[in-house]
Structure 1
Amino acid sequence: DYDRASSLAGTGFSPGKLAKCSKSVQAISRKICRQPEKNLATNSCTHVNRSVWEVRHFFADQIEHESAIQRKLLVLGDGACGKTSLLSVFTKGYFPQVYEPTVFENYVHDIWIDNQQIELSLWDTAGQEEFDRLRTLSYPDTHVIMLCFAVDNRDSLDNIGSKWTNELLEYCPGVKIVVVALKCDLREDIIAVRNMQRQGERPVTYEEGLAVARSIRASRYLECSAKHNRGVREAFEQAARVSIHAKANGSTIDQISGCVIL
């Protein structure tokens, strides 16, 4: 009935949620009351059952949202290493065809880990030096960082062990780190490999990326290709899994040591 449904709206919700729940229950209850008397004899049971179903599912959705773990995930790395493409493929299923430098972008995406809903706040950052001071504003309350490099840019890997690690020690000490190799499809791209060879370079190997991840004591080392959507979801799932065991800015609940390789 209406009184019982209204009383349920105040169970376990914040004031804002309470107001929203109460209004929704009232709207559903009014649908029952507005039924013409001539229809009650034949349609009342069907209509009431439908309304009860709506109330039940409304509260189930609210409880599910309330029970989600909220985690902040920061994507970090050199400019043009593929961070924005990685996020775009994961959140939108779309691979950008044109490179546009990022200053700040923020996404919210839900993911399920071991039957636990995690609400990920995903932060895309600028890797260029001119944004160094601005980028540090994104560090507070971070649970896990995806530290990225591109396999066709050895400098982006070298900077993980120098620039990025030092910056994190200063502004985000103790935060959990997941090292992610991006653009892994270029290892098999003949044209890309030839262009690197002309410059006296070669693609970063799996073993080289793993060695750097171990040297900074990262929690995971992962590889993916956003262009071909290979390993993208798995990378975020592993980062989310790490975030479950972390408090904001690195104070850990359950220490994870070493690297887990996929």
Structure 2
Amino acid sequence: MYQKYGSYANKKEIRCVLVGDACVGKTSLIVAYTTNGFSDRYTPTAFDNFSVTVNVDEKPLRLELCDTAGRSEFDTIRPLSYADANVFLLCFSVAKPESLSAVFNRWLPELRAVSPSTPVILVGTQSDLRLNMGRVISGLPRSKGSDLVEWRTASRIASQFNADYLECSAITHHNLKEVFDLAILEGLNRKSPVINNEPKQKVNSPNKWILFQSSAEKQSEKTKSPSKKVTPPFKENSFFGLKKLVSIMKF
């Protein structure tokens, strides 16, 4: 017997907060997910709120995505965005080993000081660099394999604080939807599978749960202006909803 949605019946909104070092691609992930696009221009973030509406079992659920600044000058005010979080995406770049070191030395202690029990998902960004695809697209020099964080290393670190680990790319959209699907599952206080996303390995399950993204809108936390609807360049349920199915676990 399946307990499909846990506390979903009482939830109409999930707040997902992205944290991590500056320049690891947090904003790019949100932009790619909400608009099906990619911006190669870096714009320093203060604090921005984005929101999308997803359909979970044909029921609307608002997913609020909070983009935080990784720079040290925001250390005193950044934790204010943690209190109401239902799930954290703790991001580092697979091309920047120092950003993974900061996960334990800086970010995890900061998160746990405010929200000791909120679920955390470790996210390795810029996974396209493993195949140099992103650098070819961007016209950058090819990276050396020795410069990249090994998948097993990051996965082992995630297991030390009982977190799932996923790698994704805002450029190629590899595992992009899977990251936010898992965030929704965790935000709904459900037991979710440990996804083995090691390159060239697949996870199969006979039980599926479909998450559809239906609309997108952005709100700037700096201005506190009313939410404005954004028309994404994809048809409703055409891309994100059919790309991947997420497994349901038995209780």
Instruction: Report if TM-score (shorter chain) is over 0.5.
Output: yes
Hey, what does 1:261 align to over in structure 2? 196
Hey, what does 1:153 align to over in structure 2? 96
Does the CA-based 8 Å contact 1:111-1:237 persist in structure 2? Answer: no
Relative contact order (C-alpha < 8 Å, sep 6+): which is higher?
2
Hey, what does 1:204 align to over in structure 2? 149
RMSD of aligned Cα (Å): 2.1
Does the CA-based 8 Å contact 2:92-2:125 persist in structure 1? Answer: yes
Q: Which amino acid aligns with 1:260?
A: I
Richer in strand (by share): 2
Q: Mark the CA change 1:138 to 1:192 in structure 2 (over 3 Å): closer, same or farther.
A: farther
Give the whole-Å Cα distance in 1 for the aligned partners of 2:32 and 2:159: 27
Deviation at 1:192, TM superposition (A): 3.6
Name the SS for the 1:118 alignment partner.
strand
Hey, what does 1:213 align to over in structure 2? 158
Give the whole-Å Cα distance in 2 for the aligned partners of 1:108 and 1:192: 35
Structure 2 length as normaliser, TM-score? 0.67
1:180 equivalenced with 2:130 (yes/no): no
Give the whole-Å Cα distance in 2 for the aligned partners of 1:231 and 1:192: 22
Hey, what does 1:193 align to over in structure 2? 143
Q: Percent identity?
A: 31
Does the CA-based 8 Å contact 1:78-1:149 persist in structure 2? Answer: yes
Give the whole-Å Cα distance in 2 for the aligned partners of 1:115 and 1:166: 38
Measured against aligned partners, the alpha-carbon deviations of 1:233-259 in whole angstroms (never above 9, x if no partner) come to: 1110111011001xxxxxxxx6x4894
Q: How does 1:40-119 map to 2 (within 5 A)?
A: 69-119=12-62
Instruction: Give the count of matched residue pairs.
Output: 182
Hey, what does 1:251 align to over in structure 2? none
1:224 equivalenced with 2:159 (yes/no): no
Give the whole-Å Cα distance in 2 for the aligned partners of 1:160 and 1:217: 14
Q: Which amino acid aligns with 1:228?
A: T
Deviation at 1:162, TM superposition (A): 1.9
Give the whole-Å Cα distance in 2 for the aligned partners of 1:212 and 1:117: 35
Segments of structure 2 that go 5 or more residues without pairing to the other structure are 1-8, 136-140, 198-251
Give the whole-Å Cα distance in 2 for the aligned partners of 1:261 and 1:112: 25
Segments of structure 1 that go 5 or more residues without pairing to the other structure are 1-65, 246-253
Deviation at 1:225, TM superposition (A): 0.7
Hey, what does 1:121 align to over in structure 2? 64
Deviation at 1:222, TM superposition (A): 0.9
Name the SS for the 1:80 alignment partner.
coil
